[in-house]
Amino acid sequence: MRLITANVNGIRAAARRGGLAWLAAQHADVLALQEVRATPEQLRDELDRAGFADWHVAHAPSIVAKGHAGVAVVSRVAPTAVRWAVADEFEGQGRWVEVDLPLGPGVRVASAYVHTGEADTPRQDEKHRFLDAVEARLNEWSTAGRYAVLTGDLNVAHREDDLKNWKGNLRKAGFLPAERATLDRWFDGLVVDVHRTLHGPGPGPYTWWSWRGKAFDNDAGWRIDYHLATPALAQRAVRAHVGRAAAYDQRWSDHAAVTVDYDLTPAPTGG
């Protein structure tokens, strides 16, 4: 299973910049998209034009703030189940969609978009409530022993290796101690940071760079886009790659897509 997570920064803008053509050329089996910023009809139209007409779409648009957020899982095979929100509080915000796919032993894939937050404000409190809801879902996966993976833009860099200017961001949302402690808990047996595990120590590779200034040219980025797999599935991850554009003018989003290949072939049985 080749699974690509990508914050497209607006599906229609990404299509105009060549992003959907890039995704179509990657031979993926599943796409997890964030910040789709489109109606279901607009998303379907863009996917059809890009060569995904036969693919299945589970899309959670933002109802409370149209034109914002929005997440989707797009797959070659039809999901056997779809879940639209991680908690009642966040229903209709377009920040979570979760599907069960009949691939290998059966895989659960979630696409999540966590908002940026702002230190010492109600917006940051809301971000922590969302992360707490995600943690509860990860605990459910762990208890059930599922093959499952949380993908998406979590807007949290875990360690100093995960952002270029970590000293200048110690008191800013995205690198606050409480946010990083949340990921510490998740990585203590619930899920595995697949990208970091396969790549090894950093710095980087980063997955987000500001459009402004020379951030991209100087590789002054953040690693905030993840594949977080349950231990059983993480053991089957064999390759990870960040699709960083070759140059600033070739970018189709302010994020880079993260691709992971999972070997879902059955383990040999003893004879």
Q: What are the pLDDT digits (tens) for 207-227?
A: 999 999 999 999 999 999 999
Res 268: pLDDT: 53
Res 123: pLDDT: 96
**Using CA atoms, how far apart are residues 47 and 49, in angstroms rounded to an integer?**
5
The CATH-assigned architecture of domain 2-262 is: 4-Layer Sandwich (3.60)
Q: What are the pLDDT digits (tens) for 102-114?
A: 999 999 999 999 9
**Summary mean pLDDT of the chain:** 96
The edge-to-edge listing of strands for the beta sheet with 30-34 is 56-60, 71-75, 30-34, 2-7, 258-262, 237-242
Q: What are the pLDDT digits (tens) for 67-98?
A: 899 999 999 999 999 999 899 999 999 999 99
Structure confidence at residue 269 as a pLDDT band (50, 70, 90): low
Token reading at 54 = 């036969």
Indicate the DSSP class of residue 149: E
Please compute the mean of the pLDDT values over residues 120-124 and round it to a whole number. Answer: 96
Token reading at 171 = 């008191």
Res 266: pLDDT: 78
In angstroms, the Cα distances linking 112 to 35, 147, 200, 248, 260 are: 9, 17, 24, 26, 16
**Percentage of the chain lying above the pLDDT 90 cut:** 94
Structure confidence at residue 64 as a pLDDT band (50, 70, 90): confident
Res 270: pLDDT: 53
Pick from 17, 21, 30, 22: nearest CA to 229: 30
Structure confidence at residue 267 as a pLDDT band (50, 70, 90): low
Which helix (H) or strand (E) is 262 found in, with range? strand 258-262
Structure confidence at residue 38 as a pLDDT band (50, 70, 90): very high
pTM to 2 decimal places: 0.96
Res 271: pLDDT: 47
**Using CA atoms, how far apart are residues 16 and 97, in angstroms rounded to an integer?**
25
**Can you say whether residue 154 is alpha, beta or left, with left for phi > 0 and alpha for psi between -120 and 50 degrees?**
alpha
Please compute the mean of the pLDDT values over residues 255-267 and round it to a whole number. Answer: 93
Structure confidence at residue 66 as a pLDDT band (50, 70, 90): confident
